[in-house]
Structure 1
């Protein structure tokens, strides 16, 4: 009898689990590994909890995830490879306007490649396909939002970079967007009144670029593949329920968020780290004076670094007594004896080694998170996009310094490295920040899974969003208070001018009587 009851309870539990299982469609077009370091652990965890996950991605990445149905889009690989093999990538990092033009073209091509792919089209034509939520990167690929209307499902966003005004808009989060640009090229980081005015114009320009360049191209695709009118896009953009952000308040940016913006920085740390090989382990263990780890992030970065900069790095490292572990995909001729190069570095494992005293980085967000988690101070050499803002925030919390690679000299680089190694405040602050970053009620992966399933349980998320359209412009910018204050000053000014005029008239009349 007890055995029968146990089987009944188990069967009921399995039935309830299967009943909660959802169909999830995840669309991630990038042919870079960084975003998938966040996406893959979450998709794997959701699959293990019984959900059915379908991923639309490039052919080359991510690696197949057990239990996930992969729809690979070959054109995503071809387009990205063409950009990386041409000189257009240097145009991407040259200015905000060049970055905007290339980004718009790339996002249009990626959106078209996905929606026109034969396997995707077959999925759309299959009327038995049902999805409970659409998960995608929060970027300017608005045509993909049509999937939400097509399957009558909410949208869930994931972002591998810091939050910006565009993400705020998707979340219904009317934060002070003047502090959160999409591209920081040319953005001013000080808080002077002139800089604030300049940055307001800067953000306005970004909004115009989105309205006049990004969105029209995406609207053409929305109509071409779904037949939806342009007027529907506003409703589609408001369908974002939960947005998972690769950030955390301890990383130097405390901000007011609506409840559906969820901070999950460190989500990729749930994956086991790659171990060091014997030679690298020996280099780290035997470093009598410590180790400086140097990596510029993605492999494509090294071959784009100017030769002058690489020579400055070589000249600087030759003057140091520390061992240098340099991640680079190209061989390094004429290097000093203290430099050890490695093509593929187990970065997380390197950073956790007690002999690593400093991390020289381009300021990519995943690298910063790994350094913060390991409690290692950083020296930033930012190159483009969010790296400047990332390093600035690390400077503000006292765990990093940053140099401009365009004006940097060997003396400046050498002096900065030595001062950071000799000043114990950087290491002490890095350890304190690491403890704050790790101290959470749930792990980042558990948090991401919980909120994903919350979005699945509550498809109407209006209770989590602030409808910006319902907040009048006068109230949002407190213009009513400003007008009232101006009215008070205006009345006072009129009274003062009137009294002054009357006093002047009295004095003038008296002078005329005396004459």
Structure 2
């Protein structure tokens, strides 16, 4: 009898796990590796917990994950290559509108590539296929929300970049106090009242761009592949339950989040770091005056930077007593000196974790920023585009970074800033304090992401997690009724004061005329 019970308990646990297992459809069309550093650990963890995950991705990204069904979309490679190599990229940063037109076309092509793919179409035609949740990036690809309607499933968002007002709206978190732009080019990071008014107009323009540029093409695809009318989109957007956000409140901005916005910055740190080779390890260990690590990330190649900037960097580095580890796309054996170690592919996390590394010169990519925060290393930001400016501004506000403009970079400015970051102890002290705050959590980021994913699977009615502003009148949501009454009172007082002042002036003028007579 005891033997039978001993056999029965694990069997019941096995069948219970199978009953709780869910079918998850994950759609991530990235054509560069950085975002998958966040996606892969979560997908792998969900698969290991018994969930059946189907991933829709490009042909080469990411490598196959054990236990995961992969649907590769060849057209994603073609569409992305077309946009990247197009001559229009030269105009990409000329204005917000030109940037939006090109981005809108790219996102339309990506949405079409996914929905028209043979593998995805087979899923849609196979009536035995059912999914309990749809997981995707929170960008302007609203046509993909049609999959949530098709499978009658909620949506879980992944925000691999910093959150913005568009993500806030998807989460049901439309508070103006937390608004941040989608594109920071031209956004004012000052805190004056004038800057706030300017930013309000700036984000209003972005909302107009969404309606006029991004939305029409996505609505066309929504009708083409699912037959949904434009009115259906608002209902689909309200299906967002949990949104995993690559941010943490310690990193420069405390936000007023609704319950379904979950901060999981550091999720990619759950993967084991790549070790340093013997030569690099010795270079770091023997650095008597410390090490400066320089990298512009995986997507910005040094050879694409202006030649003058490369000369400025090399001239500055050669004058420093610190050793330099320089990630650069050249053969390392041809580009070494006594204090400069050039490497093609850098084990960045291990380099930043080394106790001799005193400064990180970075473009300000979010993953690199998180890794520097985790390791407690001050930063010098050389941002180039998109969220990098905002990331470095926040690190500056926290007190662990300074930022320079790469377009006006000089040897003098670079040298002065590097010396300040190295010699003033407040930067290193603040970086260590920030690292401790960043790491101090009840659960690590991967455990947090898994728990909330399964919460969304357990509670598919997402209404209890969202603030539905459609149910709150505009006047009451912004307390405009109180403001109107207050303005009316002040207005009446102001009119009375002005009237009284005018009367007093006239009486005084009349008296002066009588005196002169």
Taking structure 1 as the reference length, the TM-score comes to 0.96
Q: Cα distance 1:357–1:507, how it changes in 2: closer, same or farther (>3 A)?
A: closer
Q: Deviations over 1:76-95 (max 9, x none)?
A: 12222333344444433443
Q: Does the alignment pair 1:355 with 2:359?
A: no
Q: Tell me which residue corresponds to 1:465.
A: 466
Cα separation, 1, equivalents of 2:387 and 2:299? 18
Distance 1:438 1:231 in 2: 44
Partner residue in 1 for 2:398: 397
- Deviation string 1:344-387 (CA, Å, 9 cap, x unpaired) is 11110111011111000000000000011111111000000000
The residue number in structure 1 matching 2:325 is 325
Matches within 5 A, 1:188-337: 188-331=188-331, 336-337=337-338
Displacement of 1:501: 4.9
Deviations 1:390-420 (A, max 9, x none): 0000011111111011112110001100111
Number of aligned residue pairs: give it: 515
The equivalent residue for 1:346 is 347
1:422 paired to 2:423: yes
Measure the CA separation in 2 of the matches of 1:254 and 1:459.
Answer: 28
Instruction: Quote the offset at 1:506 in angstroms.
Output: 5.8
Distance 1:303 1:507 in 2: 77
Aligned to 2:375: 374
User: Are the aligned partners of 2:178 and 2:255 in contact in 1 as well (CA < 8 Å)?
Assistant: no
Q: Distance in 2 between matches of 1:334 and 1:353?
A: 22
Corresponding residue for residue 164 of structure 2 = 164
| 1:101 Cα deviation from its structure 2 partner | 1.6
Tell me how far apart the structure 2 counterparts of residues 367 and 509 of structure 1 sit (CA, whole Å).
75
**How much does 1:284 deviate?**
1.0
Cα offset for 1:339?
A: 1.4
Return the offset for 1:3: 1.6
- Give the CA deviation at 1:504: 5.5
Q: Distance in 2 between matches of 1:334 and 1:95?
A: 38
Q: CA deviation at 1:10?
A: 1.3
Partner of 2:480: 479
Q: Provide the rounded CA distance (Å) in 2 between the counterparts of 1:436 and 1:483.
A: 43
- CA offset at residue 475 of structure 1? 2.9
- Is the CA contact 2:316–2:411 (under 8 Å) kept in the aligned structure 1? yes
Q: Is the 8 A contact 1:246 1:265 kept in 2?
A: yes
C-alpha contact 1:175 1:257 (8 A) present in aligned 2: no
Which ranges of structure 2 fall in alignment gaps of 5 or more residues? none
Two-structure CA RMSD over aligned residues (Å): 1.8
- Structure 1 pair 386/490, CA: closer, same or farther in 2 (3 Å)? same
In structure 2, what is the equivalent of residue 447 of structure 1?
A: 448
Contact in 1 for aligned 2:336/2:342 (Cα 8 Å) = no
- Conservation of the 8 A alpha-carbon contact between 2:318 and 2:339: yes
SS in 2 for 1:26: strand
Q: CA deviation at 1:204?
A: 0.9
Do the aligned residues in 2 keep the contact of 1:364 with 1:386 (CA within 8 Å)?
A: yes
Q: Verify the 8 A CA contact 1:178 1:203 in the aligned structure 2.
A: no
Tell me the SS of whatever aligns to 1:406: helix
Note the C-alpha offset of 1:303.
2.9
Any conservation in 2 of the 1:265–1:369 contact (CA below 8 Å)?
yes
Change (3 A) 1:232 1:299: closer
Aligned partners of 2:501 and 2:88: how far apart in 1? 66
Q: What secondary structure does 2:301 align onto?
A: helix
Aligned partners of 2:78, 2:511: CA distance in 1, in Å? 91
Name whichever of 254-263 and 463-472 sits farther off.
463-472
2:326 and 2:95 mapped to 1: Cα distance?
A: 28
Deviations 1:451-495 (A, max 9, x none): 000000000010110012223222333322332222122211232
CA contact (8 A) 2:162 2:245 kept: yes
Match of 1:409 in 2: 410
CA distance in 1, matches of 2:467, 2:162: 20
CA distance in 1, matches of 2:275, 2:139: 34
Say which SS state the counterpart of residue 253 (structure 2) adopts: coil
Q: 2:117 & 2:177 partners in 1: Cα distance? A: 36
Name the SS for the 1:249 alignment partner. Answer: coil
Which secondary structure state, in structure 2, belongs to the residue aligned with residue 123 of structure 1? Answer: helix
Distance in 2 (CA, whole Å) between partners of 1:433 and 1:230 is: 46
Per the alignment, do residues 335 and 91 of structure 1 end up closer, same or farther by CA in structure 2, a change over 3 Å counting? farther
Kept in 2: contact 1:363–1:382 (CA 8 A): yes
Residues 292 and 322, structure 1, Cα contact 8 Å, conserved in 2: yes
Q: Shift of the alpha carbon at 1:322?
A: 1.1
- Asked whether the 8 Å contact 1:375–1:427 carries over to 2, the reply is yes
TM-score by length of 2: 0.96
**Cα separation, partners in 2 of 1:178 and 1:447, compared to 1, 3 Å:** closer
The 8 Å contact of residues 323 and 340 in structure 2, kept in 1 or not, is answered as: yes
Counterpart in 2 of 1:40?
Answer: 40
